[in-house]
Structure 1
């Protein structure tokens, strides 16, 4: 936003306006990070999920960023975190204060990147995205409290799948891959995916996500974050070819589901997102 304050106002003022507009018009919560680069903005956005605004400037990283465990850092997965821990690097601050050559030797080119990120440095440009560049549509939410009840987790998943379905239908993007993400209370992350017949219906996205959730749920390990995404969009003439899985589907049932959900989209676009939704979300309340 540098240089645009005259048009949009101060960063914090603009962030508040964006957050309130998304909440009022779409009925969705969001978290926003304000920082000097993409990495710090991403880390800041994670700090007040599911709703809030965080400023994270380079001058603040010693207080706000460095005390966090390395597995909480964007770009560091479970295996990398485990290896860093074995090297005696437990926090982001430990990584920032480590010998750069040691990190590069252990992790190659990626080591140089995580070393600089830990020090609040990121020179990657902010690039505009257009619909044709869309490779996946995903939604995730950090829960207000750790969750061990799979029934409640399914309601969260349904609300996320509903949002993905609406977005996919709006952009006419049918996908074949559903992917879920579970982040546990100890910051461990599990990701699983499955292939389904090409779809953009909330019902089919949710059902695929539920199957994955049921296969990998463990009530002994409370979950802090749940995410789901749709990808594998058609890019060429193969979009018009039926797969073996498509032929197994009941076309009339599939078409009826699409028609119902498109009708719901029309009502929501005209009267607001909360005017019509799924019965389960009405009974339990949207997360």
Structure 2
């Protein structure tokens, strides 16, 4: 989908937003003022995410700011995916505004470009949403093709036209190559996707490690990943928040971090997972982001455990400049079922009592039930009441999937 969040507001209230430069952003009054996405009218005026609201307004004084409405976005996303499923049942939902659709067995699947035009037209006519479609023999090429002609583009990418359309692109434009990987590749002379395609695997292996073969194959148009039509368990769960007031020390935000950990572990319980890799992120007032992670000796699943690990990481990475954003995530997730839980000396039960881990599990699930009934801020942990009073449960940001939101209702 093209500028999806902004496009949803235009589709919902065209008389108010159509043709105007709009940006979906947090509340500037609380400093949660970073542009999440912008309409193409705003982008033409230099407004791009994740630009601070103040800078966006300086570039485009008549910019219309719209607060995020995730219920609206989820509603439109479900309607888009339902429409796609009218063409084929084989659909993999990647995110709230993106999916893969296998059309080989669908009626008209032997004419994929015509099918793409029909699908794009129906999304625009019935939902008033612009979209771009990539037509390709695998997921990687389809993703790259869908990004090539926005807005309202349809691009076919295959082995025949790949040297002309894909290989000249800068290496940073390749899906799956982040800034750090791009810097390493540029140091060995890989400037474009085509350079990656022809570079020797031995040289790439010394720079990229185990990912070398996969990235080289994709640069050559090879991606054997199957379509995953069933929702997959998350590989990580995280939550972040932009502070209402910049913080100069961890002590000022100890309560906010406790709330972040509480939010993350609540979602982990929903998925019935635990993890050993804890990561934290910090963004200072100059928009520089620092990230640090650690692999723990045992899995975490409770808010108190996660808080202790996150606190140690935050103290290690805390910058000299005031901080405006904090994030906590747990990665390397495994299912709770079938996993042994390492107990400490304090986890053993008193005679006739429950082990500490089981007590915590029961208590936290009761908290989840209360929040589901009375709202996410109905219950707070005592430690979260110290320092800054930022409402993580009501205002934080997470990459929650559509099925996750369904389960939460």
User: Structure 1, residues 5-44: CA drift from partner, whole Å, max 9, x if none?
Assistant: xxxxx7116789xxxxxxxxxxxxxxxxxxxxxxxxxx96
User: Which whole-Å CA distance do the structure 2 matches of 1:109 and 1:61 have between them?
Assistant: 27
Structure with bigger gyration radius: 2
SS at match of 1:221: coil
1:142 paired residue number = 242
RMSD: 4.5
Q: Provide the C-alpha distance between the structure 2 equivalents of 1:110 and 1:283, rounded to a whole number of angstroms.
A: 53
Q: Deviations over 1:85-135 (max 9, x none)?
A: xxxxxxxxxxxxxxxxx9x966443999xxxxxxxxxxxxxx999653410
User: By percentage of residues, which structure has more helix?
Assistant: 1
**Equivalent position of 2:311 in the other structure:** 210
Give the gaps of 5 or more residues in structure 1. Answer: 5-9, 17-42, 84-101, 113-126
SS class of match (1:63): coil
Determine whether 1:166 maps to 2:166. no
Q: Which residue in the other structure is 1:154 paired with?
A: 254
Cα distance in 2, alignment partners of residues 210 and 14 from structure 1:
43
Q: How many residues align?
A: 215
> For the residues of structure 1 that align with 2:309 and 2:375, how far apart are their CA atoms?
27
SS, match of residue 179 in structure 1: strand
1:227 positional shift:
0.7
Aligned position for 1:22: none
Pairwise mapping of residues 30-69 of structure 1 onto structure 2 (< 5 A)? 50=32, 54-57=37-40, 60-65=43-48
Superposition pairs of residues 131-280 of structure 1, within 5 angstroms: 131-196=231-296, 197-218=298-319, 220-234=320-334, 239-242=338-341, 246-248=342-344, 250-251=346-347, 252-280=355-383
- Does the 8 A contact of 2:255 with 2:385 survive in 1? no
SS in 2 for 1:174: strand
Matched residue of 1:206: which SS?
Answer: helix
Aligned-pair distance for 1:217?
Answer: 2.2
Structural mapping, 1:11-22, within 5 Å:
11-12=8-9
Aligned residues of 1:159 and 1:286 also touching (Cα < 8 A): no
Partners of 1:185 and 1:110 lie apart in 2 by 38
Listed one character per residue, the Cα deviations across residues 130-178 of structure 1 (whole Å, up to 9, x for unaligned) are: 6534100011112233221211222221121111111110110111111
